Structure 1
């Protein structure tokens, strides 16, 4: 199992990005979380196998219909904390 930490930049707040990310991650069977950042970005940490995480990252590049993703900063690593589901952090 691997871990992807991503910070999504662009028009990603106020466009249902967190809820959409939650749905995509759960559909893919990933564990982790997503949250808004004070700077206007969206941060997510997802755990799963490499192929599924690659698909998740490709989905993040598109985002929901009202979003405009400009850049995604990624950091790949080993799982440091095991999550039981995928959730929205506030």
Structure 2
């Protein structure tokens, strides 16, 4: 299973970013999770097709509710666990 991780920098709290990420991932058929990792940073793990991942990335840039979006860094990764759904980790 292809896995990707994205670090989003900006105001990720208070704007429903985690629910947006979950809803968008589910619409695209992606699994994985989202979590806040620091003040003004969130991490998303995505598993699915390259096409669905690319669509998520585009929506992340154009539609996400992140106020003052500073940076998005995404990479393909080796990940040994396969997720069967998309969850919010906090």
Q: What is the TM-score when the length of structure 2 is the normalising length? A: 0.88
Tell me, which stretches of 5 or more residues in structure 2 are unaligned?
Answer: none
Task: For residue 39 of structure 1, report the CA deviation from its aligned partner.
Answer: 2.9
Q: Deviation digits for residues 36-55 of structure 1, max 9, x if unmatched?
A: 11232111000001011000
Alignment of 1:1-90 (within 5 A): 1-62=1-62, 63-64=64-65, 67-90=67-90
Task: For residue 35 of structure 1, report the CA deviation from its aligned partner.
Answer: 0.7
Q: What is the TM-score when the length of structure 1 is the normalising length? A: 0.88
Aligned equivalents of 1:19, 1:10: Cα separation in 2:
16
Q: Secondary structure at the match of 1:37?
A: strand
Aligned CA-pair RMSD: 1.5
Aligned equivalents of 1:59, 1:15: Cα separation in 2:
16
Q: Secondary structure at the match of 1:21?
A: helix
Task: For residue 61 of structure 1, report the CA deviation from its aligned partner.
Answer: 1.2
Aligned equivalents of 1:28, 1:46: Cα separation in 2:
11
Work out whether residues 17 and 67 of structure 1, in 8 Å CA contact, stay in contact via their aligned partners in 2.
Answer: no
